[in-house]
Amino acid sequence: MSTIAIATTKEVFDLIREDLLAIEQEFARACGADVAPIREMAAYLREGGGKRIRPALLLLAAHALAYKGRSAVHLGAVVEMIHTATLVHDDIIDEADTRRGRPSANKTWGNARCVLTGDWLYMQAFHMALEERNFRILDLLIRLTQQMVEGELVQMDLLGRAIGEQEYYDLIYRKTACLFQISMQLGGVLAGATPEVEAQLGEYGRNLGLAFQIVDDVLDLTADEDVLGKPVASDLREGKATLAVVHALQHGSREERAAIQQVLEDRSFARVGHARILEILRHNGSLDFAMRAAYGYADVARAAVAALPDSEDKRAVLWAPDVVVAREK
C-alpha cells in the first residue's frame, strides 16, 4: 500500500468545502417544487442536516482521478436526494418519531404525505441524473434503488427472527453499503475511469459502507440518546438483529439467547430490559466483535484504493474509514 500520509479532517473539508456548499445549494434548488406541501417537507428534510458522507465520497472519488467538472456537484445532490428519500420511507416503515434529534417527517405530516414526498424525491433525483445524458450513470442509479428496495423488503421478512451473519451482511449491503459503493463509482464514471478503476472505487465504497453500518448498529445499542438524536436500541425494539446481537445469539448461553429472542419477538423491552441485553452483549464480547469487524472492513476499503495515484484527494479517501469507525453518532 502507498505510504502517503492520511489526511486530517480539516484538510479533507478544505479540499471539498466549496463543492459541498454547492451541493447544498443544488439540493435546495432541486427541492423548490411548485407544489407547496412538497416544497415545505423537502426543505424540512434538507435542513435536518446529516453527514453528507455520500456526496463527499462522490466528490473525493472524482477529484482523486483529476475530474474538475460541474457534474460532480450535480450528481452529489442526486445521491443525497436519493438518500433522503430512503430515510423518509424508512421512518414510515419503522414508525419512527424522531430523526436527527427532531420530529420525523412522518410524525409531523403523516404517512400518506411522506410516502408521496419520498416518491417525488426519487423521481426528482432521476430527472436530475437524466440531465447528464449518460446511460452508465442511470444504470448505476437504477440498480442502486432496486437493491435498496429489496433490502427493505428482506428486512421486513427478517423482523423478529434470529439471523446469521451472512443474512446480516446481505441486508446491510443492500440498505447502506450499496449507496456508498455507487457514490464512489459515479465519481469514477465522471472522471472516465477504466472498468478496473471503477471496480476498485466501488469495492472501497462497499467496504466503507459495511463498516459504517456496523458502527451505526453498535451505536444504536450503546450511545447516549442525546448524542444519537433518536431513541437508543431502536433496532432491537423493531425486531432487528444486528451484528453484535447475531454474535451473542451464536455464542451466548441458552438463557442469554432466550432473553435476546424474547426482545426480538416482543419488539419491546417490557420483559427483558435494555440493560440486561447490554450485559449479555458485553459478557460475550459481542460489541467488541462487531467493532473489530468494522475496523476490518475499513482496512479492506483502504487497500482497495491503494493503486490510485498519490494526491491530496487520495489522502482524503484514505482518511474516511478512520472517521467512520471512530464516530459517536
98, β-bridge pairs: 103
Q: What is the dotted CATH code of the domain comprising 9-326?
A: 1.10.600.10
The DSSP annotation for 187-235 comes to HHHHTT--HHHHHHHHHHHHHHHHHHHHHHHHHHHHS-HHHHTS-TTHH
| Residue written as grid cell 442502486 | 144
At 1-12, the pLDDT tens digits run 444 666 677 777
DSSP-assigned states of every residue in 139-168: HHHHHHHHHHHHHHHHHHHHTTS---HHHH
pLDDT in tens, the chain (329 residues): 444 666 677 777 888 999 999 999 999 999 888 889 889 998 898 888 778 999 999 999 999 999 999 999 999 999 999 999 999 999 999 888 888 889 999 999 999 999 999 999 999 999 999 999 999 999 999 999 999 999 999 999 999 999 999 999 999 999 999 999 999 999 999 999 999 999 999 999 999 999 999 999 999 999 887 767 677 899 999 999 999 999 999 999 999 999 999 999 999 999 999 999 999 999 999 999 999 999 999 999 999 999 999 998 999 999 999 988 988 77
- pLDDT tens-digit readout, 151-190: 999 999 999 999 999 999 999 999 999 999 999 999 999 9
Euclidean distance between CA atoms 15 and 168, whole angstroms: 35
